[in-house]
Structures are given as structure tokens and as C-alpha cells.
Structure 1
Amino acid sequence: MSPTIFREKGYRFFFFSREESRMHVHVYCERGEAKFWLEPRIELAQNYGIPARDLRVVKDLIEDHVNEISKAWKKHFGS
């Protein structure tokens, strides 16, 4: 199960149900996918095909929605 947190500008932001405990978010678009750590700060963990200029847009979107993502994480994982 991979609940979608939100969609914006052609990106889907989500996480997988059975993953590590460090808070992070996955991003999918037609060009590829990436994973960003949310703690201790927002930073790229992995990237598969998303161009660097688009990763900047993705990071900005994560920064804009970090509270929403964090709430969804805590609700889903109970931590």
C-alpha cells in the first residue's frame, strides 16, 4: 500500500506502508521517481531519472507541504 499524500504540478507525493522509520517521502512523475528525507532536514535520498532542475521544484513543493506530509506520516505510521 502506498498512500498518496498530495499531487501537484504533475508529481505524486506518497510513502510506502512498510518502510524504515526515518521520515521521508517518495515522489513520482512521468520522468522518474525520487525519495527525500524529511528529517533532520529536507534532502534528496535517491533519484531515478528526475532532472536536477525538476528536483529543485520538487524540493520546493516538499518544503511548502512539509507539515501536511508530516501529519500524514504520523497518522499512517502512528509515530
Structure 2
Amino acid sequence: MPTVLRIQGYRFFFFSNEGNEPVHIHIESGDGYCKFWIESITLAYSSGYHSAELNKIRKLVEEHKDELETAWHEFFSNT
């Protein structure tokens, strides 16, 4: 379960067996958890976050999109 980024109390990661899915990132903090598709930066799933926090997380995904995508491709090209 590679962690790609830790910022503002959030951990951005993906699971090592997800290379067959489109590029995405899981985010967790405290009791919250969500998943965003990276290409379109679309929320795939959320639990424990309210809409304002999801908007904040979405902006973080946008700001770090290149870094998240690069980490995904580097990891799954080696598996």
C-alpha cells in the first residue's frame, strides 16, 4: 500500500493490487476515507467527509495531480 503524499493531515495512497483499474488515489484522515479518479479528478467514493472537506481534498488532488499520476505509473510499470 504505497503512500504517495502526506499533506494537511491527509494520507494519499493506492493499493498495490490495483494496477488494472484507471489511475486513482485513496485519501484518509481520522475517520474519513475517499477515492478520487485522477484523470477527470472525480470523486469515486467517500465515507466520513462532509462536502466542504471533500472540496478541500479535491483541490489537493488537483494541485498534486502530476505527482500522484507519476507515482502510480512508476509503481505499476515495475510490477
- The question of a shared fold, defined as TM-score above 0.5 by the shorter chain, is answered with yes
What runs of 5+ residues in structure 1 fail to find an aligned partner? none
Using the size of structure 1 for normalisation, the TM-score is: 0.91
Cα-to-partner distance string for 1:7-52 (whole Å, 9 max, x where unaligned): 111100000011242000000000310000012x101000011111
What runs of 5+ residues in structure 2 fail to find an aligned partner? none
Tell me, what secondary structure is at the counterpart of 2:44? strand
Q: Which runs of 4+ in 1 moved over 4 A?
A: none
Q: RMSD of aligned C-alpha atoms?
A: 1.3
**How many correspondences in the alignment?**
77
Tell me, what secondary structure is at the counterpart of 1:74? helix
Task: Name the structure 2 match of 1:24.
Answer: 24
User: Matched residues, percent identical?
Assistant: 40
Using the size of structure 2 for normalisation, the TM-score is: 0.91
Tell me, what secondary structure is at the counterpart of 1:5? strand
Looking at structure 1, the residues matched to 2 and 75 of structure 2 have their Cα atoms a distance apart, in angstroms, of 9
